[in-house]
A and B are shown apart, each in its own frame.
Chain A
Amino acid sequence: MKKYSVVFIPDNLKIEVDAGTTLLEAAQQAGIHVKSTCGGKGTCGKCTVKVLNGVVSGGQGNIPQRLREQGFILACTAVVESDIEVEIPMEFRLHEHQVLLDDNVENEGLLAEGKLDILGDYPLDPLAQKFYVELSPPNLMENASDYSRLITELKKHVPAKWLNISNDVLKTLPDILRAGDWKVTVTVAFYEGGGEIVRITPGKDDFPAYGIAVDAGTTTVVVALIDLSTGKVLAKQGTYNRQADYGDDVISRIIYADEFKGLEKLQKVAIDTVNDLLDKVFEEYHVSIEEIPVMVVAGNTTMTHLFLGINPKYIRLEPYIPSANHYPVVKAKEIGLKINPQGLVFNLPSVASYVGGDIVSGALVAELDKKDEITLFIDIGTNGEMVLGNKDWLMCCACSAGPAFEGGGISFGMRAMPGAIERVYIDKNTYEVKYKTIGDKAPMGICGSGLIDCLAKLREAGIIDRSGKIQDVDTPRIRKGDDGPEYILAFAQESGINKDIVITESDIKNLIRAKGAIFAGVRIMLSMADLPIEAIDKILIAGGFGNYLNVPDAIRIGLLPDLPQDKFDFIGNSSLKGAHLALLSREALGFADNLGRSMTYLELSIGNAFMDEYVSALFLPHTDLSLFPSVTE
């Protein structure tokens, strides 16, 4: 097949591609991550590039007028026809982002992320431990093999019914035993009542065993390194899920997985995303990959399928059946994860197609199953899952809110990271804006908590009406943009990206849809349980949309039910915290299985009830104003 060279500007990166490759595929091969929310269908208009030299065919699709006039084309529909040079402006790329964590901002009236006691009532009994053993050396009279000598001694120390060793580890045994003068440290990872010998090192090793907790989200992935002897987080890193190159939501990923080699690619980029984060974690806290015997992953059902390379196709098709809700324990080397190749990888169980291990993880660490009071747990993420109940009963549903509160599908939306606008104030008389960014950096975009604030403040100032329409008010901050009216939050000269940061009317409509879906989910759950909203004793909000949650504003826009502020708690990334807990407690991991099984799943796609609730929630705060007495007073 004919090959062409493609040079990417400004990186000046040159790669060879086959004739017939699209520019989007070429960029992916070059490791440049271009925004593409439609998964390469030419409909989202995000993957705009400019050909500087050479010939491409195609390139048409949904491109904003302004960009088309400047000579931009779509990378996903443009096919390379000669050696070419293309420019991909930095603003159209997915950037590596550090996810800000544990940086609680103290603010009056705002709910900062609560510190969860990770272990709770569970005893510290980690998934992997190191055991130091001293063996008696063999002689002609006592001639048991090295392996049985080790096992006999180990069994005295290791709380496991059986022990397993792989051939790869066994191969290292004879030399290590002798190098350590029959004194060795053995790392054992536990599963299903038994133990896997992951690593043997000579002599006494005083370092603790380490574990990795992973939150494999649709939009973002976070990895934490945990000291299994103390439970402490030693390092933590987050970034965008690189699967976003293939679509913003799980549905477009499932569709992509069904294409030629699609599943393989999605699995690879998911693993690559985690591996890159592992590199950064190990840079932040110096340990070698061999020292990591265990990893726990919490992801939604689709992400877990993709992570393990299981086809998620049938999740999307009626009657929406996942391949599995409980996943086998796999070795790291089987799926290419960069921890100890013999290390065990646990995926937390799912409940159903659209309520996954991330929610089981959250429910586990929030101990929903241990409480008398009725708790509503809401994960404000791409899928918008929620769990309602107490120690006697639990029900759950997912309302596909979309990634708006994680910054997806919003013109200047971004993750909660330095430079993200997280609080907004708008003067009711002058329509002037004040804002606060994370890390007090020049603003680069706006994160979920900023968006909640922004919507409430725009409404309060009368800049938008209850249906989200931008009003004709007299301020230079309102102007006509490519997608209709928009409001300027930060002018180019004050921003960190040399561009006006705006929120458009279609962004506002997206946010209203996202909050409408979440509130509709809450209403349906309550009506199914036949409970009035006042019957909820506690509402736990999870999600990575910011460092805090502005409860009054979230109620004002109709995202959260109108209840007193003391009923709310914000627990941050509960998916990661649950994975952390499972690493520290074998009992908790076992319990996650039960928890997954004991939740009743409500399929919201059955009947019209959800749709009716959703449509009536597409208003600020709601078309039934009596549900929000404190807002309408």
Chain B
Amino acid sequence: MAVQLLKERYASEVGTVVLGATKEQGGTRSVSLTVGGEAALPFQHYEGSIPNRPIIAIEVTDVEPNWPEPLKEALGDVIKDPVAWAKKCVDEWGADAIYVKLDGADPDGANRTPEECAKTVKDILAAVGVPLIVVGCGDVEKDHEVMVKVAEETAGEKLLMGVAEQENYKSLVAACLGNGHSVIARSPLDINICKQLNILISEMNMPTDRIVIDPMIAGLGYGIEYGYSIMERGRMGALQGDKMLAMPMICTVGFEAWRAKEAWASEADFPGWGAQKDRGPAWEAMTAAALLQAGANILCMRHPQAVKAVKKNIEQLMETK
């Protein structure tokens, strides 16, 4: 006798967000990407459609990053030049999108002007055809100036810009709203704040299909299960019809994974942990793999080898047979 699979039917589905605008859509991208839209829990194809695969955005910083040596070695010299770096991400490593972090704006660092930051973003836009995700340096005051300038200078490109937080969301949302960009709404591992922020942002007349949730996650071994359960709750909420939790999710995988000691500690210090050149990307790839199962739609990653592994993982998970 054939086994009858029990299938869950959900009342609703995850919303979609489009990244990047092509010429016809008013931008200069060669492709635009749609994320989200799944009508079932991650990769449960037999229960509902999963129309869009999760995408990988490779991280590029506008100034040379202070990242662990093995990671910098794998990336090579391009880390000194964000434009060349972005190009290599797309051409060689297969990035779906570029995640530009404007660390150079930091007043305690390079302290670049908003104009300089906007120029970097425009240069990258000119060099690659994929959509861009752009976030500030983390200094609230400075990011306000920088992101407004970037948003204005790139109007129509449909960037995904971040990050809006509960205490400070208005100026970024207004800048995105006026220039046709989308926004990342970040909440600190808290489903209620996540939802409150989405409500507050949508009440500024930002359409829900231009908001992406950053639930904040942790790396493997550093509390990833908290991020996992928050994301799972968000997805269950979305599938049960809660529109204010239904936005696609972005996860800063590279940032969290490479903070883990297991990713960067040297072989000399921990001979039993295995080869350092494999360990870091493995840690990053495993972090990404877990978050894919929690419902991540956009993975921001760093190491080419990790990207390669996760791309393969996504491909397999998206197979419906």
Binding site for B on A (CB under 8 A): 465-467, 615-616, 618-619, 623-626
| Known contacts A623-B199, A625-B244; A467/B166 CB under 8 A | yes
The complex places the Cα of A80 from the Cα of B310 at a distance, in Å, of 72
Decide: A618 and B200 in contact? CB cutoff 8 A: no
The complex places the Cα of A465 from the Cα of B204 at a distance, in Å, of 11
Of A615, A616, A624, chain B has the most CB atoms within 10 Å of the CB of A624
CB distance from A478 to the nearest CB of B (A): 16
Q: Name B203's closest neighbour in chain A (CB-CB).
A: A466
Decide: B192 and A466 in contact? CB cutoff 8 A: no
Decide: A623 and B166 in contact? CB cutoff 8 A: no
Decide: A465 and B242 in contact? CB cutoff 8 A: no
Kindly state whether residue B34 has any CB partner on chain A within 8 Å: no
Nearest first, the 5 closest Cβ-Cβ pairs linking A and B are A623-B195, A615-B192, A616-B192, A619-B196, A623-B192
* Contacting residues of chain B (219-264) with chain A, CB-CB under 8 angstroms: 242, 244
Contacts of A619 in B (CB 8 A): 192, 196, 199
| Known contacts A616-B192, A618-B192, A623-B192; A466/B200 CB under 8 A | yes
The complex places the Cα of A221 from the Cα of B192 at a distance, in Å, of 38
Contacts of B192 in A (CB 8 A): 615-616, 618-619, 623
Binding site for A on B (CB under 8 A): 166, 192, 195-196, 199-200, 203, 242, 244
Q: Name A623's closest neighbour in chain B (CB-CB).
A: B195
9 A-B contacts, Cβ less than 8 Å apart? A466-B199, A467-B196, A616-B192, A618-B192, A619-B196, A623-B192, A623-B196, A623-B199, A625-B199
The complex places the Cα of A625 from the Cα of B195 at a distance, in Å, of 10
The complex places the Cα of A631 from the Cα of B192 at a distance, in Å, of 19
CB distance from B209 to the nearest CB of A (A): 18
The complex places the Cα of A624 from the Cα of B200 at a distance, in Å, of 13
Q: Name A467's closest neighbour in chain B (CB-CB).
A: B196
Contacts of B242 in A (CB 8 A): 624, 626
Decide: A466 and B244 in contact? CB cutoff 8 A: no
Decide: A465 and B200 in contact? CB cutoff 8 A: yes
The complex places the Cα of A623 from the Cα of B242 at a distance, in Å, of 10
CB distance from B72 to the nearest CB of A (A): 41
The complex places the Cα of A615 from the Cα of B195 at a distance, in Å, of 11
The complex places the Cα of A618 from the Cα of B192 at a distance, in Å, of 9
Contacts of B196 in A (CB 8 A): 466-467, 619, 623
Contacts of A626 in B (CB 8 A): 242
Contacts of A624 in B (CB 8 A): 242
Q: Name A616's closest neighbour in chain B (CB-CB).
A: B192
The complex places the Cα of A615 from the Cα of B193 at a distance, in Å, of 9
Decide: B200 and A623 in contact? CB cutoff 8 A: no
The complex places the Cα of A466 from the Cα of B193 at a distance, in Å, of 12
Contacts of B244 in A (CB 8 A): 623, 625
The complex places the Cα of A486 from the Cα of B242 at a distance, in Å, of 34
Contacts of A465 in B (CB 8 A): 200, 203
Contacts of B195 in A (CB 8 A): 616, 623
Contacts of A615 in B (CB 8 A): 192
CB distance from A383 to the nearest CB of B (A): 24
Contacts of A466 in B (CB 8 A): 196, 199-200, 203
CB distance from B291 to the nearest CB of A (A): 23
Q: Name B190's closest neighbour in chain A (CB-CB).
A: A615
CB distance from B318 to the nearest CB of A (A): 32
Other A-B contacts than A465-B203, A623-B196, 13 sampled, CB-CB below 8 A, are: A465-B200, A466-B196, A466-B200, A467-B196, A467-B200, A615-B192, A616-B192, A616-B195, A619-B196, A623-B192, A623-B244, A624-B242, A625-B244
The complex places the Cα of A626 from the Cα of B199 at a distance, in Å, of 12
The complex places the Cα of A615 from the Cα of B242 at a distance, in Å, of 17
Contacts of B200 in A (CB 8 A): 465-467
The complex places the Cα of A5 from the Cα of B192 at a distance, in Å, of 56
Contacts of B199 in A (CB 8 A): 466, 619, 623, 625
The complex places the Cα of A626 from the Cα of B243 at a distance, in Å, of 10
Q: Name B245's closest neighbour in chain A (CB-CB).
A: A623
The complex places the Cα of A434 from the Cα of B199 at a distance, in Å, of 30
The complex places the Cα of A567 from the Cα of B195 at a distance, in Å, of 30
The complex places the Cα of A410 from the Cα of B177 at a distance, in Å, of 37
The complex places the Cα of A522 from the Cα of B199 at a distance, in Å, of 23
Contacts of B166 in A (CB 8 A): 467
Of A466, A467, A616, chain B has the most CB atoms within 10 Å of the CB of A467
The complex places the Cα of A466 from the Cα of B196 at a distance, in Å, of 8
The complex places the Cα of A465 from the Cα of B173 at a distance, in Å, of 15
The complex places the Cα of A619 from the Cα of B195 at a distance, in Å, of 10
CB distance from A615 to the nearest CB of B (A): 5
CB distance from B188 to the nearest CB of A (A): 13
The complex places the Cα of A465 from the Cα of B192 at a distance, in Å, of 16
The complex places the Cα of A626 from the Cα of B245 at a distance, in Å, of 13
Contacts of A467 in B (CB 8 A): 166, 196, 200
The complex places the Cα of A587 from the Cα of B312 at a distance, in Å, of 78
CB distance from B200 to the nearest CB of A (A): 6
The complex places the Cα of A624 from the Cα of B196 at a distance, in Å, of 9
The complex places the Cα of A616 from the Cα of B195 at a distance, in Å, of 9
